[in-house]
Amino acid sequence: MKLPRLPKKLRVMVGWTLDLFFARNIEQMITLRDVEALSDLAGRIRARRTQLTPTAASSPPEPAIRDQL
């Protein structure tokens, strides 16, 4: 087996040292499935609101709709 050479050891050492001083950036990735789920939810909310009467449309959303958000 081949042992790691000096450049590899230096890369690891520098990486570990930088990790001590700087936090890792965690990013949220939005997938196509997430976009489809959100647009589906928005469509269901729009359909539900069109079924409401004009006086009920000005009231706050029903608890079932609020729970889905």
State pLDDT tens for residues 5-38. Answer: 999 999 999 999 988 888 777 777 888 999 999 9
What DSSP assignment string belongs to 22-62?
SPPP--PPPPHHHHHHHHHHHHHHHHHHHHS-HHHHTSPPP
State pLDDT tens for residues 36-64. Answer: 999 999 999 999 988 885 655 555 666 66
Report pLDDT for 55.
Answer: 56
User: What does the alpha-carbon distance between residue 8 and residue 13 come to, in Å, rounded to a whole number?
Assistant: 9
Question: Whole-number mean pLDDT of the chain?
Answer: 80
